[in-house]
Amino acid sequence: MSEKNKGILKDILSYILIILIVVGIRVFIFDPVRVDGPSMNNTLVNGEIIILNKFEYRKKPIERYDIVVVRVTDPSTNHEKKIIKRIIGLPNEVVTIKDNKVYVDGKELDNSFASTKTEDFDLSQIGLVKIPGDSYFVLGDNREVSLDSRYSEVGTIKKEQILGKASIVIWPINKIKIIKK
């Protein structure tokens, strides 16, 4: 093989390697997700693009107040879709909402990120006494319009439905920020 052909082959292999690395990162570690709707206002706003960290929960446990992307079945179309919500209840806990305050196992939680009032709720409304051992209870920050664990269409979320943790807002450019609890 001539030196010229070796150089061309080396260039082609370099490009293939770069493509494989980029695709690997996108598939296994990070993924852009568009915020669709107002359910996470004011923390995340419709149209923003976030980076989903798919690797986060392979090395760390899911924690209360994490903002996660969840795969659910849309009841109106029976198709899977991604929703963005905040983890409120952990496995085997009891979640109640009374007088716009959220309680887990009787203790009041920080509710400062909620942008609207929350109607009273207890797990019996979705047929539960406590969150199942492999599941989580999620809420949107804009509780008046959020389709979340309070509704049987969503219910509690199994760990395998959680695609990853929302980590960074990357669009629009003037709103780039790290997403904090």
Q: Which residues are catalytic?
A: 39, 85
Cβ atoms of 65 and 119 within 8 Å: the answer is no
Q: Distance between CA 170 and CA 163 in Å, rounded?
A: 18
Q: Distance between CA 143 and CA 131 in Å, rounded?
A: 20
80 burial level (CB within 10 Å; 0-12, 13-18, 19+) = exposed
Q: Distance between CA 97 and CA 61 in Å, rounded?
A: 25
